[in-house]
Structure 1
Amino acid sequence: MSEQLIGGSFQDDAYRAVQERLRESSAQAARRADERRRDDTVLRVVVADDQDLVRSGFRLILSSYPRLLVVGEAGDGRQAVERVRETRPDVVLMDIRMPVENGIEATRAIRADPQLEGTHVLILTTFDIDEYVYDALAAGASGFMLKDAEPDDIAAAIEVVAKGDALIQPSVMRRLVETFVRTRPATGPSDASGSDFFAVLTEREREILVLVARGLSNDEIGSDLFISPATVKTHLARIMAKLDAHDRAQLVVRAYEGGLVKPGER
């Protein structure tokens, strides 16, 4: 009997010790999360995907990177927009195919909200060429990546997009846009009033936009036009402002949609 009591007492003490360690670990994790929330260098991320397992996987992956903090999750597009408005993240990892509202509709709503100007959308796709990727980029997404990408690649992608850069390499962007523009009716190089959509650009800016759409990097554009990469970057910033484009990805979309560049041109 005494042995049973001693054994029972020992088990109770061990259980309490484990519980105490768990409480301490949770408290430490909460303190670390609070510290990261107060750290201006930490990038805040919302994960939007209709699969619980996928969201949990991304949260687990991102939690191992000191500069990344998941501040919200969403299971559909409408929830994604709500979470973004609540948490004001730097980046949204956005699945395309979701219920209620898909990722394209959610991206469009986020990019249309002036209070969310600092939030960038990174599209998640299962395949390297998804039939909806072009629409997502046109809606304001900053790029896309595969769901099964390596953790370091995911973390690096978030860093890139948070800075306002397009994730997709220029040559890849060009192939992607050309593939989908060929299947769509040309909108023509004019705006709703019938005037030249690109009339706001200088001749040099038009040159640079064409080269961006053809897949050239800043260094390559600078070499072609005999100007420095820094000058190219300055021109790109002005072009983005004039065409209401958020990043390089949208500039390429604008160039093809407006007819400044035709699929297959070199």
Structure 2
Amino acid sequence: MGWSRPHYASEREPDAVPSRETTSAATTLGVLPRARTVFVMNDELLLHGLVHVLAQADGVRLLGDLRHTADLGDRLRALRPDLLVVDVHRGAALADLVAGLDPVPRIVVVIDGEESPAGTLDLIHAGADAIVDRRSSSAELLSAVARVLDGQTALDAHSANTLIAELRSRERAVEADYAGILTRREKEVLALLTEGLDNRAIATDLFISEATVKFHLHNIMDKFGVHKRAALVSAALRGRI
């Protein structure tokens, strides 16, 4: 990202505090009110680089940088930031961090999606307004912060890829769970059904009665919430079952 050591903004400059509810419709940091900003991260190099980049933007006023300590919540409540830039990696940790903050600041989470599972979807559920991977460019960081201060949400390119991978992984896990709820015989019936066999042919192939085939098909459709053979076959062929 090319981040270097920080140049902290002066804290003597007058406040023009944007609330979460009322924010300028501007889309660049240069014309936004100066957001009271707190950084929370233990990685010194990452912290210095982020502060260096954001301190050059007119829309951010640095209040301070904190570490993940036991009294972090109390210190944040005392500072009452408008913008929180934090390096948590799990949604639960972020939810705990912002619990009790009033007003709730806008939150930019910096992740390392290359070295650890980012839990991007969990972070979004926990309240992240933007997620930026530490491998991203300074321009992407500034763009994400600008969007957040303008009341929007943002993902940089790396984080968007991470989110897509997470969603696909969860979908595969759900599909595996679905497959696990079928009995061995139900799987056999479903496999033959997707090959185009009718009930009589399935019964003949499995040496069971047509009534038993109907019974298994009824159970399969009930488990997956479909009510027609065509819908069941379509779902199975698309890999949804």
TM-score, length of structure 1 as denominator length: 0.47
Distance 2:141 2:100 in 1: 26
Root-mean-square deviation (Å): 3.4
By how many angstroms is 1:160 displaced? 1.3
Higher helix share: 1
Counterpart amino acid of residue 151 in structure 1 = S
- Percent identity of equivalent pairs: 16
Structure 1, unpaired ranges of 5+? 1-28, 98-102, 187-263
Q: Does 1:154 align with 2:141?
A: yes
Selected match of 2:15 from 20, 27, 38: 38
Contact kept, 8 Å, 1:126 with 1:148, in 2: the verdict is yes
SS at match of 1:73: strand
Structure 2, unpaired ranges of 5+? 1-7, 18-32, 176-238
By how many angstroms is 1:120 displaced? 1.8
Distance 1:133 1:175 in 2: 9
Distance 1:135 1:104 in 2: 4
By how many angstroms is 1:78 displaced? 4.4
Superposed CA offset, 1:81-114 (max 9, x none): 33421222122111125xxxxx634421354436
Distance 1:140 1:180 in 2: 22
Q: Does 1:122 align with 2:114?
A: no
SS at match of 2:154: coil
Distance 2:171 2:92 in 1: 23
Q: Does 1:179 align with 2:171?
A: no
Structure 1 stretches of 4+ with a deviation exceeding 4 A read 77-80, 183-186
SS at match of 2:151: coil
Aligned to 2:43: 51
Aligned to 1:96: 88
Distance 1:48 1:68 in 2: 15
TM-score, length of structure 2 as denominator length: 0.51
Map residues 62-77 of structure 1 onto 2, 5 A cutoff.
62-76=54-68
**Aligned pair in 2 of structure 1 residues 169, 158: CA closer, same or farther (>3 Å)?**
closer
Aligned to 2:119: 132
**Aligned pair in 2 of structure 1 residues 85, 176: CA closer, same or farther (>3 Å)?**
farther
How many residues align? The count is 152
Counterpart amino acid of residue 123 in structure 1 = V
